[in-house]
């Protein structure tokens, strides 16, 4: 009787372990079926004519609004694409993720939390009111590194004796995430440098309030340069995938940031990656993500896939419309939402 009970218990434990193992392993699908999901989203949104290119940076208004590319990197390192994944656009605010990652890697997660904050502002990405509100009403660093004031501050925190040294750190970090050498789109850099007076004011304000402790003009210039880095959908997907797979680039196998630091990066993306629409985005997808006014969006399904879409027309919050819709559809079809667990979760206790 006792032996029978023990055997039943052993079988039950084995079954539980198997279920846990199955839920831990990303769902295995034929490459063709993932390709057809990606192709389906591309076909569905290819002719969508909503939104408008950003034009407050004149060079962005000139980019072809029909440019549309989807790229996805799966757990086995396969790159699945649809549309134009070669044409480069400027990375814009997506750069903020990777500068923040550099600072977290070099100085630890506390540096970003204590200097800038890790809370959503609920305001536009270039809000000056959010800085005033944080300082005067909240009384502390209650911003985040993915809105302009926090991002210019994060850039000022990258260490280096000269501006060139800091820049080398930034561009090498982005290149490591992408798995190829990236460079600045000079026309975008010039265009944004000529029209970034608001960001210059934000940099100066952050200096006045002692968030920025070094030369604010240098920080704003380097920030402008980092936003002008050229990337295509494939680069962005590889950058997202490096975050999805513990900070290790799935193509080059280089450990770009340590796995321990990745959750801090993803948390701020989840909180503030799509600005004042971050809550709506998370509600529908559960995916840490980041948009840029160049038309790119990256999204991360941890341990599962990294995905990126490039399509310049934006909605009122500054997020690419085709990119949001395509990523949402693809992730839903592939069960990318990390909160949507349908089977028993693999965390269990023995009951003792």
| Closer to ligand DON by Cβ: residue 34 or 101 | 101
Min dist. Cβ of residue 84 to ligand DON (A):
20
Q: How far is the CB of 189 from ligand DON (least distance, A)?
A: 10
- For ligand DON, give the closer residue by CB, 81 or 90: 90
Least spacing, CB of residue 158 vs ligand DON, in Å: 17
CA distances from residue 91 to 9, 198, 262 in whole angstroms, order as listed: 55, 19, 20
Could you tell me if 287 and 327 are in contact, meaning their C-beta atoms sit under 8 angstroms apart? yes
Q: What are phi and psi of 282, to 5 degrees?
A: -65, -35
Cβ proximity to ligand DON, 109 vs 288, nearer residue: 288
245 versus 281: smaller Cβ distance to ligand DON: 281
Contact in structure between 180 and 116 (CB atoms under 8 Å)? no
User: CB 184 → ligand DON: shortest distance, Å?
Assistant: 12
Report the residue closest to ligand DON, judged by CB.
93
Query: Cβ closer to ligand DON: 250 or 292?
Result: 292
Closest CA to 69 of 88, 55, 53, 56: 88
Phi, psi of 76, deg, nearest 5: -95, 15
Q: Residue 230 CB, nearest distance to ligand DON (Å)?
A: 14
Report the alpha-carbon distance of residue 255 to residue 273 in Å, rounded.
23
In order of 70, 250, 327, the CA distances from 322 in angstroms are: 10, 26, 8
Q: Which is nearer to ligand DON, 112 or 146 (CB)?
A: 146
Nearest approach, Cβ of 121 to ligand DON (angstroms)? 13
Nearest to ligand DON of 118, 293 (CB atom) = 293
In our burial notation (b when 16+ CB lie closer than 10 A, e otherwise), range 221-249 reads: bbbbbbbbbbbbbbbbbbbbbbbbbbbbb
Q: DSSP character for 310?
A: E
Look at the block and give the residue holding tokens 């630890």: 108
Measured in residues, the chain has a length of: 352
Min dist CB 314 to ligand DON, Å, is 7
In the bound state with ligand DON, the residue whose beta carbon lies nearer, of 125 and 305, is: 125
Q: How far is the CB of 193 from ligand DON (least distance, A)?
A: 10
Positions touching ligand DON (CB under 6 A) are: 92-93, 125-126, 148, 192, 199, 227, 291-293, 318-319
- Among the listed residues 283, 291, 288, the one whose alpha carbon sits nearest the alpha carbon of residue 302: 288
Coil/strand/helix, residue 111: helix
Q: Residues 139, 145, 146, 147: is their CA dihedral positive or negative?
A: positive
């Amino acid at each position: 009787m006792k032996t029978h009970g023990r055997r039943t218990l052993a079988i039950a434990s084995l079954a539980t372990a198997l279920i846990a193992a199955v839920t831990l392993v990303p769902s295995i699908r034929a490459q063709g079926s993932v390709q057809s999901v990606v192709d389906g989203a591309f076909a569905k949104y290819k002719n969508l004519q909503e939104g408008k290119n950003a034009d407050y940076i004149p060079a962005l208004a000139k980019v072809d609004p029909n440019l549309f590319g989807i790229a996805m990197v799966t757990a086995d390192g396969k790159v699945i694409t649809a549309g134009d994944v070669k044409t480069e656009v400027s990375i814009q605010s997506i750069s903020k993720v990777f500068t923040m990652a550099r600072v977290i890697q070099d100085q630890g997660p506390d540096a970003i939390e204590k200097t800038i904050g890790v809370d959503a502002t609920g305001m536009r990405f270039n809000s000056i009111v959010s800085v005033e509100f944080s300082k005067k009403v909240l009384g502390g660093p209650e911003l985040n590194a993915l809105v302009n004031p926090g991002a210019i501050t994060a850039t000022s925190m990258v260490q280096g004796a000269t501006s060139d040294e800091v820049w080398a750190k930034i561009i090498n970090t982005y290149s490591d995430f992408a798995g190829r050498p990236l460079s600045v789109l000079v026309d975008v850099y010039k265009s944004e440098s000529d029209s970034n007076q608001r960001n210059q004011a934000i940099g100066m304000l952050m200096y006045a309030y002692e968030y920025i402790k070094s030369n604010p003009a240098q920080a704003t210039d380097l920030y402008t340069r980092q936003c002008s880095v050229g990337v295509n959908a494939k680069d962005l997907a590889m950058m997202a995938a490096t975050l999805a797979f513990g900070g290790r680039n799935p193509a080059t196998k280089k450990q770009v940031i340590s796995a321990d630091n990745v959750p801090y990066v993803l948390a701020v993306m989840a909180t503030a990656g799509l600005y004042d629409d971050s809550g709506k985005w998370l509600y529908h997808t559960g995916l840490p993500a980041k948009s840029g006014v160049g038309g790119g969006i990256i999204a991360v399904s941890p341990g599962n896939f990294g995905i990126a879409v490039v399509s310049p027309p934006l909605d009122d919050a500054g997020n690419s419309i085709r990119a949001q819709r395509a990523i949402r559809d693809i992730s839903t079809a592939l069960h990318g939402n990390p909160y949507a667990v349908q089977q028993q979760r693999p965390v269990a206790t023995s009951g003792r």
